[in-house]
Structure 1
Amino acid sequence: MNIAGFTVPQPLATGVQNITILGATGTIGQNTLDVIARHPDRFRVYALTAYSRVNELFEQCCKFLPTYAVMLDADAAEALSIKLKQAGLTTQVLFGVEALEQVSSDVTVDVVMAAIVGAAGLKPAMAAAKAGKRILLANKETLVMSGSLFMQAIEQGGATLLPIDSEHNAIFQVMPQRQLSSHGGVKKILLTASGGPFRQSTASELEAVTLAQALNHPNWVMGPKITIDSATMMNKGLEVIEAHWLFNAPPESIEVIVHPQSVIHSMVEYIDGSVLAQMGNPDMRTPIAYALGYPDRLESGVSSLDMFKIARLDFEKPDSVRFPCLKLAFDALKLGGTAPTILNAANEVAVSAFIAEKIGFMDIPRIIESVLEDSSIHPVSDLQSVIDADAHARVTASERMLAYS
């Protein structure tokens, strides 16, 4: 396996680092601010962004005093601006995608936490890459939709990339730097998956899954979209595509292993028979702190792992019959081109419909498979080709959804 495509991050310059957090009110954003608050001598919040959660972003602005606050929604931006002025704060409020790109690429910014969920995070992450920032990537869709373009932008812009997903962060941690620049004897990447809340459910039980059940993840606290993706195992499928781009790994060198305790976050197998694993309590502050401090280790607030309390570690093969989303993701990766973009778009539409309780749980993979089968796959030549494929797939998915509503 050749993993030479990964850019080895260089240490940040000394002094206080200015950070933009894209998706500040989400789970990753909140955990990032928690870690930053523990290290005021190392980080300053330059910009915070959100979609429309005015009260949450206002509270964060009051605590961290960013230069900019960005809302995607114009009405929300106006409401936030009024609240900030009434509080006597000087934070400037902007809105829209262009504003997200601005606070991601501004010359003042050193680090960008890319944590906007979904396709909306693509453009600001790309802007940060072109501007040569250190990017802490928590947005799966950036690599899933436009992996080749994004990695090219990272290289051309002189940016550095650190993965925030616990699995990819774990892989990076157990691959020493000297092995990131060459073959390094790596045989296989082993991505662990919790199996979600329905790991032992029968096919008939999966057909009857409710929204409340799907949102009840046994190990992790995440936003609703990612939690549903975990329940369908699409989350792991998207991570397979991410791993392909991050570590230049062919699909056959990536294996998914169900590990219900979520203590081992991922492993790397070497040609000499060694398997190195990164372990820890399931808390996103660990990978966030590692990426923020790299190559240093920072105190994260995560409690120590109690091996005696855990007592055992279990592993299972994933069931692609009960969880077809995982196979669909591998299929899309092998097809290449715009196939992963189509997969992601159809999934976003289907998951949104499930959250709105318009379709059933197992209708999600049915809609995705139908859209993939009926869509033309094209090479990814530029960002517009990605955006066009995404838009077309969303329309197709919405049409297919009518059959299940």
Structure 2
Amino acid sequence: MTQTVTVLGATGSIGTSTLDVIARHPDRYRLHAVTARSSRQALFELCRHHRPEVAVLDHAEDARWLAEALTRADVPTRVAHGEAALCEVAASAEIVMSAIVGAAALTPTLAAVRAGRRVLLANKEALVMSGALFMREVAESGAVLLPIDSEHNAIFQCLPHHHRGGLERCGVTRLLLTASGGPFRQWAPEQLAQVTPDQACAHPNWSMGRKISVDSATMMNKGLELIEACWLFDASPEQVEIVVHPQSVIHSMAAYVDGSVIAQLGNPDMRTPIGHGLAWPERIDTGVAPLDLFATGRLDFEAPDMARFPCLRLAREAMSTGGTAPAALNAANEVAVAAFLAERIPFMAIPTLVERVLARLEHGPADSLECILAMDRRAREVATAELERREQNG
């Protein structure tokens, strides 16, 4: 029996990898919908190749263009636009891949959760912004939430399936979240001041979009993952340890009270966790090459340099503060990264800007979607004002 799949953020690297795995198993999966913000040409190519039932773009003008292009190409995909359509396709498929980058993923992902779907979570920001609310909705709806980030998927595979209710209940003492260290792991602080956007986006192991690549270079990516791990696995920040592992072969580990450490290994290819989430609790072929341990040769580990990567400290502090602080952290970081990519600020100004924004805001409970989105907007306003003040002061 085939299952229907919606891919939110279909034109990004996670989205295209998901479509690759789905295409390998036409007997198991049928593509219900694909979405993109504004990449209409890329979405047209995906529709022509994969022929989903529905395609959704953000804006009416892009949707009109896509509908006309698909009609000319004799592709029967229906085209819609806007957030209501995004939420509709998220709620109407049996499996939903949430691969939209940034805060924009929160509302459609929650729509899928509330509909009780199997939600494959590749977006970090939904949990970072609204962890308590999000996990409460999962529990109440009966949705199946499966992490797709390679690190969280690895931890999920290393834990017993009855891990809900705290790590202590299943004998786990620590979660070991691995990090490649990004392209600047061994750079001197004075070198970091000169980093260009292209250098920051040249990741040594993974192929990712520009925003996530910069987050990896600042290690904010790992800070966001720490927050995400706390919510996914009911862990405290103190129970999550970050381990720099340059080869990206061990994707993460769980340490147990008896001294055991269980690790998940594999080549750095996102089709492995995607296939795991699509087929769980079964396993399917994903097209990923087998891991050659002899070619790998060695596995190295080191502690992260907190002075070189202040974003790690900021993320831990935001999680410890709780409430709306992680939402503010995420929003300020999105503004800062966009400014760096536009060459408005230098690389090391990213954590400085985020810290300034967090210091200027008062954080309350994150008990409704409205207050979370209000904090997201407020943090962006403050970050934008800080940017303008910085530029005026030269």
With normalisation by structure 2, the TM-score equals: 0.97
1:124 and 2:108 are equivalent in the alignment: yes
Give the corresponding residue for 1:199.
185
Query: Deviations along 1:56-113, whole A, 9 cap, x unmatched?
Result: 111111122111100012221111111011112221111111111010112xx10000
Give the match's secondary structure for 1:283.
Answer: coil
Residue 335 of structure 1: which of 321, 328, 333 is its match? Answer: 321
Give the corresponding residue for 2:306.
320
Q: Is the 8 A contact 2:8 2:35 kept in 1?
A: yes
Q: Is the 8 A contact 2:6 2:34 kept in 1?
A: yes
**How far off is 1:176 after superposition?**
2.2
Q: Is the 8 A contact 2:200 2:214 kept in 1?
A: yes
- Counting only pairs closer than 5 Å after superposition, residues 44-193 of structure 1 correspond to structure 2 as 44-106=30-92, 109-180=93-164, 183-193=169-179
Unaligned regions of 5+ residues in structure 2, if any? none
Q: Is the 8 A contact 2:164 2:234 kept in 1?
A: no
- CA distance in 2 between counterparts of 1:371 and 1:350 reads 10
- CA distance in 2 between counterparts of 1:315 and 1:394 reads 36
Greater Cα offset, 283-292 or 59-68: 59-68
Q: Residue type matched to 1:44 in 2?
A: R
1:38 and 2:24 are equivalent in the alignment: yes
Give the match's secondary structure for 1:196.
Answer: coil
- CA distance in 1 between counterparts of 2:46 and 2:165 reads 39
**How far off is 1:179 after superposition?**
4.3
Size of the aligned set, in residue pairs, is 389
Q: Residue type matched to 2:341 in 1?
A: I
Give the match's secondary structure for 1:319.
Answer: coil
Give the corresponding residue for 2:356.
370
Give the match's secondary structure for 1:177.
Answer: coil
Unaligned regions of 5+ residues in structure 1, if any? 1-14
Give the corresponding residue for 2:386.
400
- Counting only pairs closer than 5 Å after superposition, residues 179-328 of structure 1 correspond to structure 2 as 179-180=163-164, 183-328=169-314
Give the match's secondary structure for 2:203.
Answer: coil
Give the match's secondary structure for 1:216.
Answer: coil
- CA distance in 2 between counterparts of 1:58 and 1:333 reads 40
- CA distance in 2 between counterparts of 1:179 and 1:201 reads 39
Q: Is the 8 A contact 1:190 1:269 kept in 2?
A: yes
With normalisation by structure 1, the TM-score equals: 0.95
Give the match's secondary structure for 1:197.
Answer: coil
Q: Is the 8 A contact 1:261 1:314 kept in 2?
A: yes
- CA distance in 1 between counterparts of 2:163 and 2:55 reads 39
In angstroms, what is the RMSD of aligned CA positions?
Answer: 0.9
Give the match's secondary structure for 2:7.
Answer: strand
CA spacing shift, 1:393–1:178, aligned 2, 3 Å = closer
- CA distance in 2 between counterparts of 1:18 and 1:352 reads 35
- CA distance in 1 between counterparts of 2:347 and 2:387 reads 12
Q: Residue type matched to 1:196 in 2?
A: G
**How far off is 1:181 after superposition?**
6.4
Query: Deviations along 1:277-307, whole A, 9 cap, x unmatched?
Result: 0000000000000110101111011111111
Identity of matched residues, %? 56
Which one scores higher on RCO, CA 8 angstroms, separation ≥ 6? Answer: 1
**How far off is 1:390 after superposition?**
0.3
Q: Is the 8 A contact 1:363 1:404 kept in 2?
A: no
